[in-house]
Amino acid sequence: MTRLTVVGVQADLAWEDRDANLAMFDREVDRAAAIGADLVVLPEMFPSGFSMATDVTAEPAEGPSATFLVERAAATGAWLVGSFACADGGDDGRPTNRLLLAGPDGTVHHYDKVHPFSHAGEDQHFAPGRATRIVDVAGVRVAPFVCYDLRFANVFWSLGPDVDLFVVPANWPSPRRAHWRTLLRARAIENQAWVVGLNRVGVGRTIDGRDLEYSGDSMVVDPLGEVVASAAGQPTLLVATVDTDRVAEVRDRFRFLPDRRFSADLS
C-alpha cells in the first residue's frame, strides 16, 4: 500500500499581490511540512487571485511563482501543487492558467487548464490547455485539474481507470458552493478515486470590478464518495491521508469502471 499525507492550504488571497501571497504561503508550507505533508495543495492562481488582468499577473514559465514551488518542494521534501498565470503558456500568445506539480527532487510537471471559465471571461484572456496529465507522486497516480474543469466529467472519465487521486485547486465562488461540493463527490464516485478539492476563502473581484466571495468548502473525498476531511469558510490547513489500497479495494468490490462506454464505443 502507498500512502500520501495531503495538506491543502485553504487561504485568503491578497488581490494581485504576488509578494504578499508568496510570503503567506511560505509560512503555510512550513506549517504543512511540520505535520508531515507529502503533498501540499495551494489554491488556483495562488499568487494573485482569479484576476483577468494578465498584464499585471502573468509571469514566465520559470518566473517567481514557479521558482517558489520548486524551491519550497526541495526545502520541505514535499510535492507542491498550485496554479498561476503563465505568460508564455498558450499556443496563440496568450497566457495559460498553468498548474505546476513540483517534486522535492527537482522534478516539475505542468498542466494548463483545459477549460477557461467563459462565464467570468477567462477564455478572453487565457488560452486553453491541450493535454491532461497523470503524474506518479511517490507511487500514487495523480491527475491534476483546475476549478472549472470539475464540471466536465468526460475529462475525468478519460483518465479515471489509471488514476488514484484527482487534485483540483480552485477559486470557486460562494454563490455556486453547492455545485462545488456535489461535483467533487460525483467525480470521486464515478471514477472510484480519491479527490482533493482545494478552494480559497475571502473576497476577490469580478472582471467588471465587483466583489466576489469565496466560501472555501475544501474537501477530501474517498473512492466511495465519503467526505473524509472538510473545511468551512476560514483560512485553515486541510489534512488527510490517501492510499492506493482503498482505490484497489473499491474497484475490486464494485466493478463499475469496466462497464463504462464512450460515444466512440457506440458508433
pLDDT tens, position by position, 163-213: 999 999 999 999 999 999 999 999 999 999 999 999 999 999 988 889 999
Annotated catalytic residue within 44, 59, 86, 122: 44
Query: Per the structure block, which three cell numbers stand in for 220?
Result: 477530501
Q: Does 265 score more than 80 pLDDT?
A: no
Measured between alpha carbons, how far is 110 from 180 in angstroms, rounded to an integer?
23
Measured between alpha carbons, how far is 166 from 196 in angstroms, rounded to an integer?
6
240 closest CA partner among 177, 202, 197: 197
Measured between alpha carbons, how far is 44 from 49 in angstroms, rounded to an integer?
7
- Whether 223 contacts 195, CB under 8 Å: no
Q: Does 122 score more than 80 pLDDT?
A: yes
Q: Is 113 a catalytic residue?
A: yes
What pLDDT is stored for residue 53 in this prediction? Answer: 96
Annotated catalytic residue within 28, 86, 113, 122: 113
Q: Is 73 helix (H, G, I), strand (E, B) or coil?
A: helix
Percent of the chain at pLDDT > 90 equals: 93
**For the chain, which domains are there?**
3-266 (3.60.110.10)
Mean pLDDT, range 118-135, rounded to an integer: 96
What pLDDT is stored for residue 207 in this prediction? Answer: 82
For the full predicted model, state whether its pTM sits above 0.95: yes
C-alpha torsion sign, points 85, 88, 93, 97: negative
Q: Does 264 score more than 70 pLDDT?
A: no
Annotated catalytic residue within 59, 86, 122, 147: 147
Average pLDDT, the chain: 96
174: left (phi over 0), alpha (psi -120 to 50) or beta: alpha
Mean pLDDT, range 43-57, rounded to an integer: 97
Percent of the chain at pLDDT > 70 equals: 99
Query: Per the structure block, which three cell numbers stand in for 168?
Result: 483540483
